[in-house]
């Protein structure tokens, strides 16, 4: 399904966040649900020259990489009526223009067995984006994150807040990629701060 089809004739739209949106949506919404999407893994493989880095030192932020065997947890926000246009305008600037993300439609599964899945819009950065960085070790990613900052703040804030969200909101979900980068960044911090 194309992103524009999810909107046609609808008075409600779900947006799935798996990065900074989980702790800083910054748009009006009716309600939110914790849950997951399948077929994608979350990776710190996208570069950022606006929010958490700049052209000289690209920050590292998350994107989704196709992988049949895994799911990615996050938050889906339901926007209704006039909120829809307002939110899409805002996210177009924040995620597409400044972040280099494109939109896709995914099936979102809310936590809790009684809840039915819904279609949701998600922002993804693909490898053909000029500031896509791709894989690196947890230590390499952490070393990059601890020194970068952009107009929305320090890159490490982005990492720590996402890790905190997963630890407190989805305590049973394993996220080795995220938590190994967090551990590597915390281990490197004393070096940055000096004696
Ligand atoms: C984003 O939503 O991708 C960027 C916002 C932020 O880093 O705070």
Residue pLDDT, tens place only, 154-163: 999 999 999 9
Instruction: Look at residue 195 and tell me whether its pLDDT is greater than 80.
Output: no
Which of 78, 85, 86, 95 is labelled catalytic? 95
Residue pLDDT, tens place only, 126-156: 999 999 999 999 999 999 999 999 999 999 9
Instruction: Look at residue 69 and tell me whether its pLDDT is greater than 90.
Output: no
DSSP for 151-170 reads TTEEHHHHHHHHHHHHHHH-
Atom of ligand 1 nearest to the CA of 158: 7
Q: What's the pLDDT score for residue 63?
A: 97
Model confidence at 9, pLDDT cuts 50, 70, 90, reads: confident
Expressed in angstroms and rounded, the spacing between residue 77 Cα and the centre of ligand 1 is: 16
Mean pLDDT, residues 44-65 taken together = 97
Secondary structure of 34-70 as H, E, C letters: EEEEEEEEEEEEEEECCCCCCCCCCEEEEEEEEEEEE
Within 6 Å (CB) of ligand 1, which residues are found?
Answer: 19-21, 24, 51-52, 61, 94-95, 99, 152, 158
> Could you tell me the residue ranges of all domains in the chain?
3-193
Please confirm, yes or no, whether 95 is among the known catalytic residues.
Answer: yes
Q: Under a CB-based contact definition with an 8 Å cutoff, are residues 45 and 65 in contact?
A: yes
Of 95, 121, 107, 109, nearest to 10 by C-alpha is 121
Atom of ligand 1 nearest to the CA of 20: 2
Expressed in angstroms and rounded, the spacing between residue 79 Cα and the centre of ligand 1 is: 19
What span, in angstroms and rounded, lies between the C-alpha atoms of 156 and 60? 9
* Residue with token string 């400044």: 98
Model confidence at 2, pLDDT cuts 50, 70, 90, reads: confident
Expressed in angstroms and rounded, the spacing between residue 150 Cα and the centre of ligand 1 is: 10
Helix (H, G, I), strand (E, B) or coil at 178: helix
Computed over every residue of the chain, the mean pLDDT equals 94
pTM for the full model? 0.94
Residues 6 or more apart whose Cβ sits within 8 Å of residue 49: 55, 58, 59, 131, 150
Atom of ligand 1 nearest to the CA of 51: 7
Q: Classify domain 3-193 by CATH number.
A: 3.10.490.10
What span, in angstroms and rounded, lies between the C-alpha atoms of 109 and 99? 26
């Amino acid at each position: 399904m194309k992103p524009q089809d999810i909107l046609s004739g609808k008075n409600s739209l779900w947006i799935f966040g798996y990065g900074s949106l989980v702790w800083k949506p910054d748009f009006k919404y009716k309600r939110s649900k914790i849950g997951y999407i399948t077929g994608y893994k979350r990776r710190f493989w996208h570069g950022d020259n606006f929010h958490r880095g700049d052209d000289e030192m690209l920050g590292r932020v998350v994107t989704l990489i196709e992988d049949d065997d895994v799911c990615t947890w996050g938050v889906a926000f339901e926007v209704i009526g006039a909120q829809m246009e307002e939110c899409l305008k805002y996210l177009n600037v924040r995620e597409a223009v400044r972040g280099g993300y494109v939109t896709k439609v995914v099936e979102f599964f809310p936590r809790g067995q009684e809840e039915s899945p819904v279609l949701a819009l998600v922002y993804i950065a693909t490898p053909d984006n000029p500031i896509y960085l791709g894989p690196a070790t947890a230590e390499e990613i952490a070393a990059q994150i601890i020194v970068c900052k952009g107009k929305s703040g320090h890159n490490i804030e982005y990492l720590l807040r996402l890790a905190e969200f997963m630890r407190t909101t989805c305590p049973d979900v394993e996220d080795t990629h995220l938590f190994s980068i967090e551990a590597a960044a915390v281990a490197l911090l004393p070096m940055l701060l000096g004696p």
